[in-house]
Each structure stands twice: as structure tokens, then as C-alpha cells.
Amino acid sequence: MEDELVLQLMLEHMLRKMGFEHIKKTTRGDVAIEKGKSEDFDLILMDIMLQDDIDGIEAYRQISQVKKTPVIYITGNTDPRNKERAEKFGYYDYIGKPITFSYLRSAIQKLFENQNGTL
């Protein structure tokens, strides 16, 4: 879930390079909630700022009431209040932009290792 289309495409490319095949994208919080509640995902990459009135933290709060899919927040917003809000609902990692392939891969790899899975 990423509001910037160029970054969305870059993240998709990175995920495919890591071997992920079934990637769903949206720029809107309401769509993120719908997809997050109704579909099964290994993980959610969620931007804090989205293109509607629902931010990424609120979207994940609503998703997490139904499913416990791990989330990695990706944000250019450095407001510490956002990280505090995110902590209330749980998250696996909180990555600042700009994002590098190696850092994203490392964060995802650690997530799966902690869940006894593999990347």
C-alpha cells in the first residue's frame, strides 16, 4: 500500500526480485482495508500516508482486527507520533524512505526467520 505510484512500481520490482509473485497494490486506505481483511497475505508493506482520509496506521488497525498479517511500514513521514500510534497496533518494522533493496530484503528476511519461514 503506497500512495506514490513510482515508489509502488519500484517496491513491486524489488518484491518480484525477492521471489514474491502475488502482489496486490493500492494507493487508498479503504481499498487496503478491504483487501487486507478479505485476502491472505504473507506480509503487508504499508505507507503511512495514503490517498484518502484513512492513513496506513488506521488501515492496518482495521485489518489487524480480522487478520494478524505482519506489517512493515514504509514512510517518509518522520513525525514520532506516527511511530507511537503504529506501536499500539503492532508492526514488524518501520522503514524510512528512501528505501534500498538490501534494507527491504533484510527486513523481510528477518520477519520470515522470526516466523520460522523462508524467503
- The model's confidence at residue 35, banded by pLDDT at 50, 70 and 90, is very high
Residue 52 falls within a domain, yes or no? yes
Residue 103 lies in a domain: yes
Report whether the peptide linkage leading into residue 80 is cis, meaning its omega lies within 30 degrees of zero.
Answer: no
In eight-state DSSP terms, residue 93 is E
User: Domain range for residue 22?
Assistant: 5-112
pLDDT tens digits along 58-105: 999 999 999 989 999 888 877 788 888 888 777 788 888 888 999 999
pTM: 0.83
Q: Please, which pLDDT band fits residue 52 given cuts at 50, 70 and 90?
A: confident
Supply the CATH number for residue 88's domain.
Answer: 3.40.50.2300
In this structure, is residue 117 part of a structural domain?
no
Specify if 119 maps to a domain: no
- Domains of the chain: total: 1
Least confident range of 3-12, 63-72, 84-93, 107-116: 84-93
Q: Quick one: which H or E segment has residue 106?
A: helix 101-114
